[in-house]
Chains A and B, each alone.
Chain A
Amino acid sequence: AQSVTQLDSHVSVSEGTPVLLRCNYSSSYSPSLFWYVQHPNKGLQLLLKYTSAATLVKGINGFEAEFKKSETSFHLTKPSAHMSDAAEYFCVVSDLMGLIGSQGNLIFGKGTKLSVKP
C-alpha cells in the first residue's frame, strides 16, 4: 500500500534563504509523485510531478524536487524563498498510475506549513 510521510509539519525560513520540505513515501508500484501547494482560502495547485522520467523535476515558481528511489524520498526545494511562498505544501503519491493510465486516487501527506519571515 502507498503512504506518504511529510517529516515537518511546520517550516520557517527567512526571505531569500533556501527552502527544503521533506517527503518520504512507500509504494508497491513505480510511484507517481506530486507536490501541491494550498494558499489560504484557495484551491490546491500543482507545483510539479514525477512520473518516471527525469528524476530531477522542475516546477512552477522556482521549485524543484528530486526523486531518490534508494532513499524513497521526494524532497521539495527552492534556492531562495519569497514572501509569496508562504502556504501549505502537500506531498502526494498516486496509487493507480500505470495500471489504468489514470492518476486515480491521490494519497496525501499531512502537509507542511511554510512560513517566510521578512
Chain B
Amino acid sequence: GAVVSQHPSRVICKSGTSVKIECRSLDFQATTMFWYRQFPKQSLMLMATSNEGSKATYEQGVEKDKFLINHASLTLSTLTVTSAHPEDSSFYICSAERGKETQYFGPGTRLLVL
C-alpha cells in the first residue's frame, strides 16, 4: 500500500528555536497534503491544507506565521514550527492524498519543547 513517512519521529528542542518536520509520500505523488495536531487524550485537529506549488490553507485559529508550511514538490511537504514554546509540544501528523481516493497518514512526529 501507499507509504507516507515523517522525519523526525521525535524531536526535543529548546524554547525559542525552530523545528522543521518533513512529510514524504514515498511511492505516489500527492498534490494535497494535510497537517494535523493531536493533543494528549484529544482528537486530531486539522491545522492546514498544503497544496503543491501554492500557499497553504490554514484552519481558523492556526497562526500561519508560526506554523510555516512549504509543499515544494509532489512528494514533500514541510511544517516548520518557528520560535517554538512549550505549549507547541504535541504530536504532529501529516497525511497525503492519493488521487481523489484516500488519505494516507504518516507515523507522526512527537515534539517536546523545553
Contacts and interface: CB of A to CB of B under 8 A. Distances in A.
Contact of B44 (A45, A46, A90, A103): A90
Interface in A1-47: 4, 9, 36, 41-46
Contacts of B54: none
A43 B93 contact: yes
A109 B45 CA distance: 10
A49 interface: yes
A41 B46 contact: no
B72 to A, nearest CB: 21
Contacts of A101: 100
A55 to B, nearest CB: 20
B44 A49 contact: no
Interface residues of B, number: 23
Nearest to A9: B41
Nearest to B102: A46
Nearest to A95: B46
B39 to A, nearest CB: 10
Contacts of A42: 107
A110 B103 contact: no
Interface of B: 4, 6, 32, 34, 36, 41-46, 49, 93, 95, 97, 100-103, 105-108
14 contacts: A9-B41, A43-B93, A44-B93, A45-B105, A103-B101, A103-B102, A103-B103, A105-B49, A108-B43, A108-B44, A108-B45, A110-B42, A110-B43, A111-B43
Given A43-B105, A108-B45, 20 more contacts: A4-B43, A42-B107, A43-B107, A44-B95, A44-B105, A46-B103, A49-B102, A103-B100, A103-B101, A103-B102, A105-B34, A105-B49, A106-B34, A106-B44, A106-B46, A106-B103, A108-B43, A110-B41, A110-B43, A111-B43
